[in-house]
Each structure stands twice: as C-alpha cells, then as structure tokens.
Structure 1
Amino acid sequence: MAVHPTGGRADTVGLGRRVVLSAFDGDTASLSVDRAPRPVARRGRVVVRVEAAGISYAEVQLLRGLHPFPPKLPAVPGYDLVGEVVEVGPGVEGWAPGDRVAAMPRSGAWQEYVEVRASILAAVPRGVDAARAVALVCNGVTAYQMAHRSAALRPGQVAFVQGATGGVGSVLTTLLVHHGVRVIGSASPARHDTVRALGAEPVDYRGDVGAAVRALAPGGVDAVFDHIGGASVSVGWGLLARGGTLVSFDSSVDGFRSGQWFRPHVPVLRKVLGWTVARALGLTGGRTAKTYYVKPGDRFREDLAKLFALVDEGVLDPVVHARYPLERADEAVRALIGGGIVGKLVLVP
C-alpha cells in the first residue's frame, strides 16, 4: 500500500497515519494508507494514541460488503484497540491523559490516533504488552462471557469448541480447561498438537465433525460454541446432551454476494428462534440455543479485568500469531483469509 507523501512525524505536525477502506469489493487493494489531521476530543470523548489494533473476521466481512453494520465509505476499519489517552474532551470523568485503555469502537481502530466515546473505555494494566492485551479485548471478552455467562459451564462438564486454535477459540479453550471443563476442539490436523497443548482433545474440522465428537462424547456435550453458522449450527445442536447450550457467535460469509449485509446471519437467527420456541413448548429436553455479540459497558470492563488478572496469574497467555505495521494491513487480512492462524493477528501503528 502507498503512503501519502506528506512528510514529518505524526505527533509533531498534527497528522496521523490511517488505513482507509474505499470499496466493499472483497479486494485488499481497496485498503490504502494516508495521513489525516489528528482528531480533537469532543464532548464525552477522548483521543487515544493506538498501540495495537486487532484484525478479525469482522474486517473480512466488511471488506466483502457482508458485515451487518457497515460504516459509510471511505472508512477506517478496526474493531478493537489498546492505547494511551492523549486528550480528554469536555464532560469526561474518570479518564485522563496518560491512562492506558482498551476500546471496541467497531470501526476506526486501524490508525495512529482515534477519537472514541469515553463510555466504552476499559482500563489496561501497564505491564501487559499491547498486542497481547488487544488479543483479549474483543476475542478474550467474547470467550469469557460465552463460557461464564452465556453457557455458565461447571467443572466436570463437556464442551465442543469450533475453531479451537483461532483468536476466540484459543482463549475460550484455555478458559474452559482452567475451569475444569473437558474440551473437544476442532482444527486442521496440522493444528492438533496445538489443541492438545491447550488441554483439549482435537477433531478434524474438515471431516464428519458430528461423528468425531460423538465418538469422544457418546452421551453428548453440555455446550457447543459455533462461529461458522449454517449447517454447522444444526450439527452442534444435535451434539447437545439434555440441558445443554449452543452458543452461535458468528456466521461464515462464504458464498454470499457483496451487499447482502444481514443475509449470512439470517439462517442462524431463524434456527435459534425456532429452537427457542420449541424449548418454551418443552420440546427440546432443556436444550437452549443462543446468539452472542460482545458489547461495551460495565460487564465488558469487569470481564476484561478478570482476563488481565488471569494473565498476571500465569493462567492465560494470549497468543499473537503475527504483528504488522499499518502499511501491511492488506497482507494481514490476506493471511487471515488464508487460514492456519493460531491466536490473534495485530496491527501495530
């Protein structure tokens, strides 16, 4: 990607580098890097100097024109970030310049400086590496809340995690194993040793996943965590033991056309609605189906703090697969699409 030829350091001339998305065409050539004036903090907002920003399938969906909440173009992608507050706007309480924070603005994180609402900020300890910290912001809180709030699993129960070595799956598997839950995790055969190292039992995601999981857990599993959607959700529902919970937290966008913003998610929503009605009628043996979407707020701050405490205790070690500068954001997205990623991909401005 080409950088606009404006010279000088961003922090001395009031400019900052940013990644810009110009079209929803699925082509990483639609990503470029330029410089823009550093934002000014408006009422209720702060300006953050970004230390690390996450790369996720949300950006892949956005690039393909298939994210359910698209920004107006041109736009700066980037779902989550870790950084330092450099300016506080009028009316902001509890935050000051120099504070280290995390945020999920859902867009805008892929730049050196970003203005965000103070209400979505969470504190980040000084001693945690920024890239490892951002691996816990969206992915980590998603994993924690699905394990302990959505499914509320107990020690001794059994869970099946789709994509056990991914950004969410690796954290989720670690948390569940630490909690005393037996975990079966899907991955490619090349990643089975990684699954075992996380304390889980691997199955090949490319084969008959349902049969493989049933062979390991003939009585069914107490929870299924699915990020694929479509037919995968139905397979997961069929694996549940009585009283079990299926949590769907994303849907694959493969095979859909650009501009079909909500279409990839509709089949899962219909299935979950149908199972919810059936449960209310007493027809599911106590089985429950839920969708999950991470949100900022008090619970987000509380659960992120718990994750950082687990890092400090040595229980959790967020995996950063690779770090890229802003100028290589296109390469990072292609790497994510290509698969084989263990842990989190991160942009470091």
Structure 2
Amino acid sequence: MATCLVLTAPRTLEFAVTEHRPLRDGEVRLRTLVSGISHGTELNLYRGTAPFATRSFDPQLRVFVPSEESSRTAKLGYDLVGEVVEVGPGVDGVAVGDILHTGQAHQEEPIVALDAHTDFYPPCKLPRTHVERGLFVSLASVALQAVHDARIKVGDAVVVSGAGVIGQLVAQLARMNGADPVAVVEPHAERRNLAVRLGAAEALDPTAGDQPIGYQVKKALGNRGADIAIETSGTYPGLHGAIASVGVGGTVVAAGFYQGGAADLRLGEEWHHNRPNLVSSMGVWGCPHRDHPLWNRARIARTVVDLIYSDRLVVEPLLTDRVPFRQAPKAYERLDNDPASALKIALTY
C-alpha cells in the first residue's frame, strides 16, 4: 500500500493510505524517488499561521473570507521527483522509466494528470541523471518569477534579503540577468558564506553593528541605495530592511509568504520618504506572468530545468539534509524549532 503525509491539525502529521485506482486518460503513475520540504509555505501551513487556517480564498472575488472548513486535513509539499511506473491511455511523450518533477504533495505513489491545466507547478520531464537536482524546480521557479518581476537591467545594484534556498537562487539569477553588484542580507554566517561562494559581492549581517541594515547596505554600495531589493525571507523585518535599502524610486520585490500582522513594517519611514515601488511576486493562484502570454508557468519550469541541468544555476550545496519519508514528522518538528538548521531537507523513499 502507498501512503501520503497528511496534516490533521497544527503541528500534527499522520500517514494515510492513498487510493490505488486504475489510471484514467492522460495520467501516469509515479514511484517517488525524493521530495523536498519548503521552509516557507509548508512551515506556515504546519504551524497553522497561514491564512488558510481560518479562511479560504474566493477565486472569483479574489479575497479571503471566513471558512467553516478551516480544520480540514491538508497535504503538504509541492516539490516531488518520481519515476514513471505506469502509463495510462492517451499519454504521449512520456514512457515508463522517465523521471518527472511534479508539484505533488509528499507521497509514495502519486498519480499525475499530464494534460490537466495548472498554474501552480506543471509536471515536467527531467534528465535521468542527478535526480536530486529536480528538488529545486519549484523553488527555482519562484526565484525566476521574482527576478522577472524585478525587471533587472544590466548594471543594476541588487540586494537580496534572506539567503535561504530561494534567496540563494535569486542572487545567482540576478547576476545572470546583468545585476552588478549583488549583495545578500542574512543573519546566519554559514548562509552568508555560501552566498559569497556562489557569486554574491557582499553578504551583510542585519544583526551586526549599531546601524540598521538599510544604512549598512547603502554604505556598502558606495553611499547610495540599491536599485532593486528582492525580499525572500517572508519576514516583516526583512521587508522593512529591503524597503530601507533602495534609493529614491527604487523597486522592492516581495517574494516571501508573510504571516499575520506587520508590527516591524514601519511605512512612515523610508517607504514614505523615498517613494519606492513595491511589487508582489506571485506566479500561482491564477496570477498570470506579467509578460503573459509570452511567459507562463510551463515555460518558467522548462527554463529553470535547463539552467539547473546545464550547471548554470548551482543547487547541490543547497541540499543539506536527507531524511527517510517515514521520519518526515521529526523533520518538520526540527525545522519548526530551528529553521536555520538546514537549507533544504529531502525526504527519501
């Protein structure tokens, strides 16, 4: 029997048996090889701090409304790599033995509808080698979306707030896009050192010294603000620091999943005085790419797969831990207590 991981209440994970049914037209069955835990979205759902804990999103009005179904169980995960073990009728271009990345939740034997419309993380074929690289397709898609939303020009000074997986990928992609210099803001020394090894010109500690991080960034950039700040930490201090780091009329791209109130976001300070542009970077939930129809989720995914497997986007150092699938609850508990204890945790099957 195949199983999946289910969140039944905040900080409560259980394993459930999945239905083993015949495949329908256009479907394939996978044997999961590895799946990755997201520090942002998944931990927010795990903790019960995401808005979905008490509300649901009305897709027509595009507003959150109170929900009586807030206590329903949920599956976690959206970065899964598996081998095709069965092909249903009407499937073309995918064969048994192929390796696919899909935005499926953590589970042993997912069924994937290849032709179903999705604006989340569409299934895409991967090379047969370096399977674990496929764990970064979804997060690299988030990073590429943020860089596209930033509209980076050659020579732009860019600061990346947060050096988790998405921040590390954003810093690399910003440099590919012509940003120079790229600075990273991150409180943890190991992550700062990794960002520099991967090409960042500066890696600043927002907790060091007597001056706020906006001041530190501007001094490091020659007494001027960054042209663009991309905020990936999903924290309000990080967002406030990103706003304070850009010059007059600069751009701040918010790529994090922010939770709750915003006591640390003081809009009467640099926001009010420097008139920056704040851009929400969101490529799912029915939000088309800003260059749609030229770009969409499928093209984003194909692009990051090409970048990762051609060694232009470096991901291997970002995978720091491997945990058996059956020990997933302990992995979530660990990240809940100490998010900085790992960059990317892979669940192995």
TM-score, normalized by length of structure 1?
0.75
For the residue of structure 2 that corresponds to 1:244, the secondary structure is: strand
**Runs (5+) with no aligned partner, structure 1:** 1-14, 254-262
1:204 corresponds to which residue? 205
Say whether 1:220 aligns with 2:225: yes
AA matched with 2:242:
G
Name the CA distance, whole Å, in 1 between partners of 2:341 and 2:174.
Answer: 21
| Total equivalences in the alignment | 305
2:42 paired with 1:59: yes
Alpha-carbon spacing, 1:128–1:242, altered in 2? closer, same or farther (3 Å): farther
Q: What is the distance in 2 between the residues matched to 1:16 and 1:132?
A: 24
Distance 1:204 1:40 in 2: 54
The ranges of structure 1 where at least 4 consecutive aligned residues each deviate by more than 6 angstroms after the TM superposition are: 265-268
- 1:117-168: CA deviations, max 9, x gaps? 4234332322342322112x22101111211x2012122211111112x111
Q: CA deviation at 1:88?
A: 4.7
Q: In 2, are the aligned partners of 1:320 and 1:344 still within 8 Å (CA)?
A: yes
Q: Which residue of 2 aligns with 1:131?
A: 132
Separation in structure 2 between the aligned mates of residue 341 and residue 180 of structure 1, nearest angstrom: 32
Structure 1 residues 175-230: Cα deviation after superposition (integer angstroms, max 9, x where no partner)? 22333322111223522322211221111133422222121122211211113343
SS at match of 1:113: coil
2:123 is aligned with 1:122: yes
8 Å CA contact 1:138–1:294 kept in 2: the answer is no
Greater per-residue helix proportion: 1
| Identity %, equivalent residues | 26
1:275-307 Cα deviation digits (max 9, x unpaired): 8xx9xxxx976x421112233996222222222
CA distance in 2, matches of 1:264, 1:211: 25
Amino acid at match of 1:340: A
2:189 corresponds to 1:183: no
Q: Does 1:311 align with 2:308?
A: yes
Deviation at residue 65 of structure 1 after TM alignment? 1.4
Counterpart-to-counterpart distance in 1, 2:280 and 2:226: 18
Secondary structure of 2:75 counterpart: coil
Contact 1:186 1:204 in 2 (8 A): yes
* Distance in 2 separating the partners of 1:335 and 1:158: 36
- Structure-2 change in CA distance of 1:347 and 1:231 (3 Å): same
TM-score (structure 2 length as normaliser): 0.75
User: Which of 5, 20, 27 does residue 6 from structure 2 map onto?
Assistant: 20
Gaps of 5+ in 2: 54-69, 289-294
Asked if structure 1 preserves the Cα contact closer than 8 Å seen for 2:103 and 2:123, the reply is no
Per the alignment, residue 255 of structure 2 pairs with 249
Does the 8 Å CA contact 1:162/1:225 hold for their aligned counterparts? yes
Give the aligned residue type for 2:78: Y
Contact 1:39 1:47 in 2 (8 A): no
1:91-115 Cα deviation digits (max 9, x unpaired): 655545443222224xxx2110123
